[in-house]
Amino acid sequence: MDRKTRISWALYDWANSAFATTVMAGFFPVFFKEYWASDLSATDSTFWLGLGNSVASVLMVLFAPLIGALADQGGSKKRLLLLFAFVGALMTSSLFLVSAGMWQVALAFYALGIIGFSGSIVPYDALLVDVAEERNLDKVSALGYAFGYLGGGLLFAVNVLMVLKPGLFGLADAGQAVRISFLMVGLWWAAFSIPLILFVHERNPRPASRHILRSAMREIVENLREVRRFRMVALFLLSYWLYIDGVDTIVRMAVDYGLAIGLESSGLLTALLITQFVGFPAALLFGHIGARHGPKKGIMIALVAYILIVLWAWRMQSMWEFYALAVAIGLVQGGIQSLSRSLYARLIPPDRAGMFFGVYNMLGKFAAVIGPLLVGGVTVLSGDSRMGILSILILFVAGFMVLQRVDPHAKGELK
C-alpha cells in the first residue's frame, strides 16, 4: 500500500487508455467509415459500428461476473488482468494487417480488442481495495484515471501528429500512419502493464477452491442474490447503469456524430486530444472533491454538466463548438468515472471485491449495449444524427434521479 504500489496500479490506466483514446474514441471510427467501410453509406457504417460495440459489450455482460468471481479465487486478479490485456493488445496490433474494404475483419478485431480491454478492467478495478485504504479510495481511484488521460493523451498526440504530418515520420500517407498507430497502441498497452504485474499484490487473497470454475459459478448465484439484499448497492448499480451508458456512448460515438453532421475528421481528432489533456488535472480535482465533499456530490455535479453537454451537442453547428464541448467533457469524464468506482468500493464487502466489481462492470457493459444501439437506431429511424445524440439525455436524467436516493454512508444496509 506504499506509493510505488499505487503508482504501479495506476500505470495500468496509463497503459490501456491508449486503446480507449487512439482506437475506440479516435482512429477506429474514422478509419472504419473512411477506409475499411468506405463503400457503405454513412448511416449503415454508423449502424455496424454501433453493432460491433454492442456485441462486444453483450459478451462482457455475460462473462463479467464470472471473471470477477474467478478473480476472487486464490489471488487470481493479476493473472486474469494479464490474460485479457494480452488479448486486447494482440487484437489491437492485428488491425495493422487489415486491408482496405475488409470492414468485417476490422470490426471483429476491434470487438475482440474491446473484450480484452473490458475484461481486464474487472480485476483491475477489484485491485483498488488492495492498494488503497478507505480514506484514500477517491484520490487513488482518481490517480488511475488521471494517469489514463495523460498516458493515453501523450500517445494519441504522437499518433495524431503522425496522421497529420506522415512525412515527418517517413510514412507514405495518413492511412499508413493510422495502421502503425494501432500497432503502437498494442505495444504501449503491453509495456506499461508490467509495473502492475511486478509490484502490485493482493492483500489476504482467498484460498482457491479445488473446482475453481464450479465454485465461481456457485458464488455468482449466491452473490447476485446478496447484491439484491444490499439496498444502497442495488440503488447505486441502477443509477450507474443508466448514467455510465451515456458517458460510454459519447466516448464511442462522438467522432462518428461529428462526421455525420459534416465536421472535418482532423478537427475531431484534435478535439479528442483536448479532452485527454483537460481530463488529467480534472480527474485529480474530482478526487479532491470526493475526498472533501463525498463522491456522490461530485458525481451529481458531473451529471448536470453532461445534461448540458448533450443539449449543446444537439444544436451544435460549427467546429469551435465541438472544441468547447471537448473541454467540457474533459472536465467531468474522468471525475464521474473515478468517483463512481470509489463510491462503489465503499459500499461493497472488500473480501469479495472481484465478484462485486464483476457485477459493476457487467452493468457498465450492458449499458454500452443499449447506448450505441439507441443512438444508431434513432439515427436510422429518424434519418437525423442530431436526434440520435439527443436520445442520450434520457440516460443522464434517469441516472441522476436514482442517484439522489443513494446514501453513501449506509454500507451493508439490507433491504
Q: Is the pLDDT of residue 220 over 70?
A: no
The predicted-structure confidence for 237-264, as pLDDT tens digits, reads as follows: 889 988 998 888 887 666 666 766 777 7
Could you tell me which residue, 74 or 165, shows the higher pLDDT?
A: 165
Q: Which pLDDT does position 204 carry in this prediction?
A: 66
The predicted-structure confidence for 60-97, as pLDDT tens digits, reads as follows: 877 887 888 788 776 788 989 999 999 999 999 999 99
Confidence of residue 37 (pLDDT cuts 50, 70, 90): confident
310 vs 313: CA distance, rounded Å: 5
Q: Is the pLDDT of residue 320 over 60?
A: yes
Residue % of the chain over a pLDDT of 90: 30
The predicted-structure confidence for 125-146, as pLDDT tens digits, reads as follows: 989 988 988 788 888 999 998 9
For the residues 317-344, what does the mean pLDDT come to? 86
The predicted-structure confidence for 402-413, as pLDDT tens digits, reads as follows: 999 988 876 555
For the residues 23-49, what does the mean pLDDT come to? 82
8 A C-beta contact, residue 221 and residue 227: no
Q: Is the pLDDT of residue 354 over 80?
A: no
Confidence of residue 219 (pLDDT cuts 50, 70, 90): low
Q: Which pLDDT does position 415 carry in this prediction?
A: 47
Q: Which pLDDT does position 208 carry in this prediction?
A: 55
For the residues 7-33, what does the mean pLDDT come to? 89
Could you tell me which residue, 103 or 368, shows the higher pLDDT?
A: 103
8 A C-beta contact, residue 219 and residue 48: no
180 vs 186: CA distance, rounded Å: 10
Residue-range domains of the chain with CATH: 3-403 (1.20.1250.20)
The average confidence (pLDDT) of the chain is 84
Question: Any residues with CB less than 8 A from the CB of 51 and at least 6 apart, and which?
Answer: 372, 373, 376
For the residues 227-241, what does the mean pLDDT come to? 82
Confidence of residue 360 (pLDDT cuts 50, 70, 90): confident
Confidence of residue 182 (pLDDT cuts 50, 70, 90): very high
